[in-house]
Structure 1
């Protein structure tokens, strides 16, 4: 999420959404089942990325040192969450010196869209995602879907694909209707892709595999963050979400597997743990 957008949307506020136990159970590994089938596939290195929001505490003061450390870990791609007081041109230069590509970015669409798109082009983004939206009525969600469609057309003309990143509340019904169903039904599937945050989807009671199957092939990005048995966020591969099951069902259309942790105690360790997990996981 870009700069001032972070405060506006409160993207990382922990949401008080009840977890649907059966759906969550389907998305987590059962004892003894995670490695039951022969490993056949892996994630290519050029599909592994990291959401820089996870490293915001380091990037503010030392963007070049932080990005260099990510490159040393093995990352080739990152997803942006603002440019930490630097212009798009300045931040792009840092990325280039660190041999990193910012293939994706989180953006708002209700401000100066032309400037947002111009900055995204300078930064080299080919994918952009709206990171957060929350409304109290279905009518408001429908109106937002319309704005997503309009913005997606503008991004498409610039060679950038626009998508939406979920939290958990999109899976909580309003008057019997799920906001996520509104978004997927009311946006143009050819223009608006989906970036599924696996932690928040599971927390909201959705089964990521069924979510993927219902929305194939517009699901093109995953935020890979894990969940403990009691619902806390944890580093990828250290919790109970059954990522091999999810990846096996969807790897043919996923272009980016993006490591993330909203509140890491040691951001660079989270980056390393997440990268090593995605590099070595088989499914």
Structure 2
């Protein structure tokens, strides 16, 4: 599988006076709610650990398993074939339940690799266009790929960044084009919470508008200056968002940090946070 070319969009910080961020000291209070993230729903996007994986693939995967992870989301297979990478994951009791993929003219080899890896989800990680017609074409391509994915027993999705929420010169919004034009039976949403907030949107409002279609969260925190933060150390009110997870339809809570200084520490902080967080049902 091809490595994914991920881009970082730190410009255009959102105005957070819309109730998207909690007041300092309250954003991540455990509270007395009964809701919790099931351990089996916790995963981590391996893009977070790309630098250490390139240095020591097996040692890093072993460390993730020791932290407590049982699921990972792929962003490439680090020079291994799908079968080779699957054997390594199996060795450490990890399962690649999801993976980021790129659209291709022939998606059959992509989905064959996904099935070899044991994935349940295949998600397009990135797209950017300047016209509404191009976004509409993308939506049609996602529908076509999603129908094919069903034949492989996969759920096919799209992962947002911030730019999908910015209006095009015509006034149309890419997110609205994608969510209205794609078929919810074949294309689900992997909602990146950091990028939604950075794009000026309230994740809870996005959930209300896309009930039972947001099957995966990228759980990524945001510092007060707009940069990435380890889970529980930033400003995003995850308990408020997670209290709507049943409405969203979420099956996976995927830890991610685009620019960690200590990737394995970030991974442990993220896992521990998701195990500890409590929220109203």
Q: TM-score range by the shorter chain?
A: over 0.9
Alignment of 1:43-54 (within 5 A): 43-54=37-48
User: Paired residue for 1:128?
Assistant: 122
Match of 2:61 among 67, 71, 81: 67
| Rounded Cα–Cα distance in structure 1 between residues aligned with 2:63 and 2:30 | 35
Residues 105-145 of structure 1 show CA distances to partners (whole Å, capped at 9, x for unaligned) of 00011254111011000000010110000000011000000
Distance change in 2, residues 1:36/1:263 (3 Å) = closer
Alignment of 1:99-110 (within 5 A): 99-110=93-104
Greater helix percent: which structure?
Answer: 1
- Alignment length (residue pairs): 276
Tell me if structure 1 keeps the 8 A contact 2:165–2:200. Answer: yes
Match of 2:136 among 137, 142, 147: 142
Tell whether 2:28 aligns with 1:29: no
| Rounded Cα–Cα distance in structure 1 between residues aligned with 2:33 and 2:155 | 32
Residues 192-231 of structure 1 show CA distances to partners (whole Å, capped at 9, x for unaligned) of 0000000000000000000011011101100011001111
Tell whether 2:18 aligns with 1:19: no
Deviation at 1:33, TM superposition (A): 5.0
Distance change in 2, residues 1:45/1:4 (3 Å) = closer
User: Paired residue for 1:221?
Assistant: 216
User: Paired residue for 2:2?
Assistant: 3
Tell me if structure 1 keeps the 8 A contact 2:4–2:100. Answer: no
User: Paired residue for 1:259?
Assistant: 255
User: Paired residue for 1:161?
Assistant: 155
| Rounded Cα–Cα distance in structure 2 between residues aligned with 1:36 and 1:68 | 29
Tell me if structure 1 keeps the 8 A contact 2:97–2:121. Answer: yes
| Rounded Cα–Cα distance in structure 2 between residues aligned with 1:113 and 1:60 | 27
Tell me if structure 2 keeps the 8 A contact 1:222–1:254. Answer: yes
User: Paired residue for 2:78?
Assistant: 84
User: Please, which runs of 5 or more residues in structure 1 have no aligned partner?
Assistant: none
User: Paired residue for 2:175?
Assistant: 180
Distance change in 2, residues 1:117/1:36 (3 Å) = closer
| Rounded Cα–Cα distance in structure 1 between residues aligned with 2:8 and 2:253 | 22
- Alpha carbon RMSD of aligned pairs, Å? 1.5
Deviation at 1:12, TM superposition (A): 2.6
Distance change in 2, residues 1:111/1:86 (3 Å) = farther
User: Please, which runs of 5 or more residues in structure 2 have no aligned partner?
Assistant: none
Tell whether 2:93 aligns with 1:94: no
Deviation at 1:61, TM superposition (A): 2.9
User: Paired residue for 1:277?
Assistant: 273
- Structure-1-length-normalised TM-score: 0.94
- Structure-2-length-normalised TM-score: 0.94
Tell me if structure 1 keeps the 8 A contact 2:123–2:158. Answer: yes
